[in-house]
Amino acid sequence: MALFLRRAILAQRQLTREDNADVRIDYGIIFSVLTLAVIGMASIFVAANHDTSTTSIGKMLAMQLVWYLIGTVAVVIIMQFDAEQLWKLAPIAYGIGITMLVLVLFMYSRSYYADTGAKSWFSFAGITFQPSEVMKPAYIMMLARVVAQHNNEYPVHTVNSDWHLLGKMFAWSVPIPILLKLQNDFGTMLVFFAILGGVILVSGITWKIIIPVASIVGIVGSLLIALVVFWRGILLNIGFKTYQFQRIEAWLDPSANTSDSSYQLWQSMKAIGSGKLFGKGFDVSNVYVPVRESDMVFSVIGENFGFIGGCVLIFLYLLLIFQMIQVTFDTKNEFYAYLSTGVIMMILFHVFENVGMSIGLLPLTGIPLPFISQGGSSLIGNMVGVGLVMSMRYHNKSYMFSSSREFH
């Protein structure tokens, strides 16, 4: 009888552990990402069916599905790492990412460079890969470690210690924009700036520092726009390209040159506007938009499903971000908080910039729409970010980085 009871207790404990493991999987995040993936596949189908003639529809969809599967495997693997393991992996991932950003300057795709002027893609057997996309989660991990370690060493924030922290964050960040500038990839550079800005806001740095720094950034941005309009020769002398000026001009006045520099933006705006409130219906497209399957994929949703469809899509992104924030509060982990902030800023900026440029609110950049745009590099980078957030609830450990316990 005693042996029977012992076996029953052990079986119940095993069942409880399995139930707990099941509960620790965040199905809300999975649902949001899966829904976005379905929308992405449908949108790529429409774009390929109407606006792309160089690649067969079946091949494009099959390749995108393969990238989704690879991304899913990446999520499952990353979920196995707890906070302490991610802490130790952060400098390794950062080092690998920087190495790849250097290597691509010498081993870049010649054909892609001829088309775009960017040295930002590897090419192997017809498959292209952009290392800066996987550098994003590596950078987030390293930035989270730097901030958490500093705040452990300086538990009381002072102006001097906050300047010290800001210096550390900039020191780890500086190599990335330099390498991206050499690759001629300004759009991706903006994503890293957004990640840095988000982590700075939650790092505990005093507003006495944040407000002046933010003011300087705003003044510099305004000055750059003024130089583009009135004194662009100065910018040409320091390395800016003519096509970048054309994008600013197209943003400021999209109707000025609709047959040349403003063509892509103008067509995107026409397609989205033609969808009106409810859209024309699935797989109905009467407006040609260049590169619609990747950068301008939001125009597919706007034309097919109208304003309502666009709002539903944005709601799904907000739902995903809300769930990520909720996971962060549930785990109560400082290192995880900075990790999730970086991931949230990465996804949020992608959505903000991609939708904004598609409707003419922001200048055109080569920034894809997360989980929807065609392409594997961006999808893998975003899925890795999702894996980092899902690992929080899966392990649910509250390492608070007190003086009695640190990660080494």
Transcribe 189-237 into DSSP letters. Answer: HHHHHHHHHHHHHHTT--HHHHHHHHHHHHHHHHHHHHHHHH-HHHHHH
Give residue-wise pLDDT tens across range 367-395.
899 999 988 889 999 999 999 999 988 88
| Cβ 51 vs Cβ 285: under 8 Å | yes
| Residue 262 in domain | yes
Give residue-wise pLDDT tens across range 119-128.
888 887 777 8
123: which residues sit within 8 A by CB, 6+ positions away?
108, 109, 110, 111, 112, 129
| Residue 389 in domain | yes
pLDDT at 398 over 90: no
Size of the chain, expressed as the number of residues it contains: 408
Backbone angles phi, psi at 127, to 5 degrees: -105, 125
Per-chain mean pLDDT for the chain? 84
> Residue 405: which pLDDT band, with cuts at 50, 70 and 90?
very low
Give pTM, 2 decimals.
Answer: 0.87
More reliable by pLDDT, 52 or 95: 95
Tokens, residue 129: 């890969």
More reliable by pLDDT, 111 or 257: 111
| Residue 20 in domain | no
pLDDT at 229 over 90: no
Q: What is the distance between the alpha carbons of residues 136 and 132, in angstroms, rounded to a whole number? A: 7
Query: Domain range for residue 196?
Result: 26-395
Report the percent of the chain where pLDDT is more than 90.
48
pLDDT at 243 over 80: no
Backbone angles phi, psi at 78, to 5 degrees: -65, -30
| Residue 19 in domain | no
Handedness of CA 355, 358, 362, 363 (dihedral sign): positive
pLDDT at 15 over 70: no
Which region among 62-71, 168-177, 182-191, 258-267 has the lowest average model confidence (pLDDT)?
A: 258-267
Structural domain total, the chain: 1
pLDDT at 20 over 70: no
- Give the chain's count of helices (H) and strands (E): 16, 2
Give me the mean pLDDT over the 212-226 stretch: 85
395: which residues sit within 8 A by CB, 6+ positions away?
24, 82, 83
pLDDT at 57 over 60: yes
Which region among 60-64, 94-98, 243-247, 293-297 has the lowest average model confidence (pLDDT)?
A: 243-247
Give residue-wise pLDDT tens across range 149-206.
999 988 888 889 999 999 999 999 999 999 998 888 888 899 999 999 999 999 989 8
pLDDT number for residue 228: 72
Torsion of CA 250, 251, 252, 257, to 10 degrees: 20
| Residue 2 in domain | no
pLDDT at 246 over 50: yes
Give residue-wise pLDDT tens across range 334-361.
899 999 999 999 999 999 999 999 998 8
Torsion of CA 365, 59, 37, 128, to 10 degrees: -40
49: which residues sit within 8 A by CB, 6+ positions away?
57, 283, 285
| Residue 241 in domain | yes
179: which residues sit within 8 A by CB, 6+ positions away?
98, 101, 102, 105
